Amino acid sequence: MQGQIGVAPMHQVSVAVQTPAHSLLSGPLSYRSAQELPPGSLVRVPLGSRELLGVVWDAPTPEHPPAHDPDKLRDVAAVLGGVAPLSAHWRRLVAFAAGYYQRSLGEVALAALPPQLRELSDGQMQRRLRRKAVAPDGPLPPAEPPLALSAEQQAVLAQLHAGSGTFVLYGSTGSGKTEVYLQCVQTLLQQDPQAQVIVMVPEINLTPQLQSRFEARFAPVHGPASVVAMHSGMTPPQRLRSWLAAHSGQARVVLGTRMAVFASVPQLRLIVVDEEHDPSYKQQEGARYSARDLAVYRGQQEGVRVILGSATPSLETWHHSRPAAEGGRYQRLHMPSRIGEQAQLPLVRRVDMNHQPRRAVFAPPLLEAIRERVARGEQSLVFLNRRGYAPVLQCTACDWKSDCPHCSAYRVFHKIDRSLRCHHCGYTEPVPRACPECGNLDILPVGRGTEQLQEQLAGLLGNLQRPDGTPVRVGRIDADSTRQQGSLQTQLAQVHAGEVDVLVGTQMVAKGHDFRRITLVAAVNPDGALYSSDFRAPERLFSLLMQAAGRAGRDAGIRTRSEMWVQTFHPAHPLFEALKRHDYPAFAAQQLAERRAAGLPPFSFQALLRAEARTQEVAQAFLTAAAAAATDALADLPGFALVTVYPAVPMGMQRVANVERAQMLLESPSRPALQTFLAHWHAVLHATRQTPAGRGLLRWALDVDPLAI
């Protein structure tokens, strides 16, 4: 027993572990240890019949008091030696994310660590750490020299070096934001031999091209392991290797998607969030955090600069970057001009489809403009954010449609493999030879996707020849054409090499890529978002169209004026008026005025309680009971009157994989009032789950600051 002669005293430690979802074990658990373990140490501890990875947390708090009887505690099984403890800054970031997004501490902490860490014993970790990195064959090429900066870039860099806090780099597409990032990082690494940087991009397919630029600039100077990537497309050993390099300080630059915001970077000096407006920075499963918002929080806590870069900043970011005299919290930096003497933003042409041939997919003037590009050896990009051949198949006799039996959605027709595929649950069947309902052989596709556009363009342009006399080539890049590993890089290389004349694609190619030969971009069907029930739909559409337009005319050496063609039935819509002028400030001002009048974010704060069950009635009954229980239990809570709880409704996609989904919106003009309500509501939700109203419920989840209502 503790205290006996000759027996070393036992230490009580708090450990954050991955506890079961919706268990009441939301904080650190108490264990005994023969040695004193500093906070942040990685340990293996027993939980039930399993042994889990855990993180030694800080001393017990009033919210998580120590165990009453230390002698009944279970012992720490092992300590992962050789790995320095995770820093206090990292632990504060995790604790804030867990509290703000209403998740358990262990869930956030363990999700932020590479999965392979959970499987390694102390001995295996020691062997892994003793492995030496494989040296590259031959000497590294010389470092890529910095590019000459424009006057706008120089002014922005000077402000970045002189200032502190969070900056919004509002630069038009092609204005050279990436070079600003590179030179800002370069100056920082030269000034501080230990400095580290996190650079985030919204999607995995944008990481390799950015990584190659950073490696070419920094690897020859700081070593081949100085630039590492972090994203979910990496294998577990690759993710562990990158994490260890960052945690040890060996990696100077960490490039990654939203998960990189949790990277253990002990000497962090700068965070860059490229394309900060992108909704991909919001996690949609598990802990539904916003990596952009956490990057700002992390920068404030660690006293490092944060750069939020975009040609179309999110309206929340734009609102926060207004002048300080008006309550702005970020400093806005502007680069309105493209790089190059003759570089200019593309001319936006609106095509009124009301005056075009009926059922025309491509307006005749647009087809002629594409033909002119092919004849000159230039490239065109046709953008449609819908993959597959057609969204639905329909019977002309009985009106049968290819709906999914498991979801509230249609199965998409994919002509290339003659399949009907649900893009939500993955259910796939061959295309029926006749209508399953009435036996009619006349089944027609309704609507169109990228696969159909590629086929139609190939037919319409089939008699054209390239300047070298070879036939025109129409390519396609979307989630279907890039399924195989390495296929995306191969197809992008073909576009860059000029082997594709017309590229059809989804948003995968509408942002972030530096296509030098594209001089025409066409959006063939953007009207769907104009009158959507989602108040964020116009913002997303404007951003996507601006990003797509930015793929045109990026090479100042091509003298032809670049163009963006928009086929629409509503050419006079204010969104297209602002797009024609490339006037994001005017569009943002109009949208913010509407949101202020309606009391929508960023002038209010929202959360969603979502419920899933086998029937819609059960899901909504749980939500309704949870709202009623909150009124009974939390009515005396400070700020309770500032929180509005709306009735339960089915989600927009009501059923997925035979699971019915419902949601309840909470809204408040006060963020502290909403957070206080949510923190106290958690126990109420757990209690409601055990009542008859929770019988049959599969799961529930809170989404703070949701992007889709």
Show the 3-state SS of 307-330: EEEECCCCHHHHHHCCCHHHCCCC
pLDDT at residue 2 in the model = 43
String of DSSP letters for 435-492 = -TTT--S-EEEES--HHHHHHHHHHHTTT-B-TTSPBP-EEEESTTTT-STTHHHHHH
- In the numeric block, the tokens 């340990």 are attached to 43
pLDDT at residue 1 in the model = 39
Name which of 689, 659, 535, 644 is nearest 597 in CA terms: 535
Q: What is the CATH number of domain 605-704?
A: 3.30.70.360
The dihedral built from the CA positions of residue 305, 311, 317 and 323, taken in this order, carries a sign that is positive
What are φ and ψ of residue 185, in 5° steps? -65, -45
Amino acid found at 372: E
What are φ and ψ of residue 269, in 5° steps? -130, -15
- Give dist(CA 28, CA 30) in Å, integer: 7
pLDDT at residue 68 in the model = 56
pLDDT at residue 3 in the model = 42
Q: 475-494 burial string, b = 16+ CB within 10 Å, else e?
A: bbbbebbbeeeeebeebbee
Helix (H, G, I), strand (E, B) or coil at 331: strand
Task: Pick left, alpha or beta for residue 565 (phi over 0 → left; psi -120 to 50 → alpha; otherwise beta).
Answer: beta
Q: What is the CATH number of domain 151-335?
A: 3.40.50.300
Amino acid found at 628: A
- Give dist(CA 536, CA 707) in Å, integer: 8
First to last CA, the chain: 57
Helix (H, G, I), strand (E, B) or coil at 126: helix
Q: Residue 109: which residues within 8 A CB-CB, separation 6 or more? A: 16, 55, 91, 94, 98
Write the burial class of residue 634 (CB in 10 Å: 0-12 exposed, 13-18 middle, 19+ buried). Answer: middle
Report how far Cα 440 is from the mean position of its chain's Cα atoms.
44
Distances (CA, A) of 401 to 67, 443, 652, 655: 60, 9, 19, 17
- In the numeric block, the tokens 């893009």 are attached to 423
Amino acid found at 610: R
Point out the residues of the chain with pLDDT beneath 50. Answer: 1-6
Provide the residue ranges of all domains of the chain, joining segments of one domain with +: 11-129, 151-335, 347-387+449-597, 392-446, 605-704
- Give dist(CA 393, CA 403) in Å, integer: 9
Long-range contact set of residues 361-370: C-beta below 8 Å, sequence gap at least 24: 361/448, 361/453, 361/456, 361/524, 362/456, 362/457, 362/460, 362/522, 362/524, 362/567, 363/567, 366/522, 366/565, 366/567, 367/460, 367/461, 369/520, 369/563, 369/565, 370/457, 370/461, 370/502, 370/520, 370/522
Report how far Cα 330 is from the mean position of its chain's Cα atoms.
21
Whether 11-129 and 151-335 share one fold: the answer is no
Distances (CA, A) of 551 to 362, 508, 608: 20, 12, 36
| Residue 213 CB-half CA count within 13 A | 19
Q: What is the CATH number of domain 347-387+449-597?
A: 3.40.50.300
Helix (H, G, I), strand (E, B) or coil at 217: helix
Residue 507: CB atoms within 10 Å: 18
pLDDT at residue 69 in the model = 65
pLDDT at residue 135 in the model = 54
Write the burial class of residue 707 (CB in 10 Å: 0-12 exposed, 13-18 middle, 19+ buried). Answer: middle
Helix, strand counts (H, E) of the chain: 17, 28
**Which one-letter DSSP state was computed for residue 613?**
E
**Which one-letter DSSP state was computed for residue 401?**
B
Sheet architecture: strand order including 268-274: 227-230, 253-256, 196-200, 268-274, 305-310, 166-171, 331-335
Write the burial class of residue 509 (CB in 10 Å: 0-12 exposed, 13-18 middle, 19+ buried). Answer: buried
Fold of 11-129: GIY-YIG endonuclease (3.40.1440)
For the chain, the residue count is 709
Helix (H, G, I), strand (E, B) or coil at 655: strand
Q: Residue 358: which residues within 8 A CB-CB, separation 6 or more? A: none
